[in-house]
Amino acid sequence: MIRHGVAPFLECSSKGDKRFSAFHARPTILDGYSIEEAYQGLKVFRDGITGLDWREAKGRLPLNVAECEAFYRFWWREWVREQDLLPVLRSATGLSDLFGQPHHICQASILWQIRNGTGKL
pLDDT of residue 1: 95
Question: 60-107 pLDDT, tens per residue?
Answer: 889 999 999 999 999 999 999 999 999 999 999 999 999 999 888 999
Residue 78 is part of which domain span? 2-116
Max alpha carbon distance in the chain (Å)?
44
User: Exposed, middle or buried: residue 79 (CB in 10 Å: 0-12, 13-18, 19+)?
Assistant: buried
Provide the number of structural domains found in the chain. 1
Residue 119's pLDDT band (cuts 50, 70, 90):
low
Range scoring the smallest mean pLDDT among 15-24, 46-55, 74-83: 46-55
In a domain, 121, yes or no: no
pTM: 0.91
In a domain, 26, yes or no: yes
In a domain, 71, yes or no: yes
